[in-house]
Amino acid sequence: MIKYKLICEKNHEFESWFADSREFDNLKRRNLLDCIFCSSKNIKKSIMSPMISNVKKIKEKNNDFGILLKNEKKRLFQIRKYVEKNFEYVDKNFSQKVRDIYYDKKNKKTIYGITTPEERKELAEEGIDLLSIPWVDKDN
Ligand SMILES: [Zn+2]
Give the distance (Å) from ligand 1 centre to CA of residue 129. 26
As a whole number of Å, the end-to-end CA separation of the chain is 29
Give the distance (Å) from ligand 1 centre to CA of residue 117. 14
Please tell me whether the overall predicted TM-score, pTM, comes out greater than 0.75 for this model: no
pLDDT of residue 48: 60
Q: Tens of pLDDT along 31-50?
A: 999 999 999 999 998 866 56
Give the distance (Å) from ligand 1 centre to CA of residue 13. 7
pLDDT of residue 49: 59
Give the distance (Å) from ligand 1 centre to CA of residue 34. 8
Give the distance (Å) from ligand 1 centre to CA of residue 46. 13
Give the distance (Å) from ligand 1 centre to CA of residue 119. 17
Give the distance (Å) from ligand 1 centre to CA of residue 36. 7
Q: To 10 degrees, what angle do helices 94-103 and 117-125 make?
A: 10
pLDDT of residue 51: 64
Q: Tens of pLDDT along 50-82?
A: 666 777 777 677 778 888 888 888 888 888 888
Residue ranges of the domains in the chain?
2-45, 76-125
Q: Tens of pLDDT along 103-130?
A: 988 888 888 888 887 888 888 888 888 8
Q: Which of 88, 101, 84 is nearest to 137 (CA)?
A: 84
Give the distance (Å) from ligand 1 centre to CA of residue 56. 38
Q: How far apart are CA 134 and CA 77, in angstroms?
A: 9
Give the distance (Å) from ligand 1 centre to CA of residue 38. 4
Q: Tens of pLDDT along 3-13?
A: 888 999 998 98
Give the distance (Å) from ligand 1 centre to CA of residue 7. 7
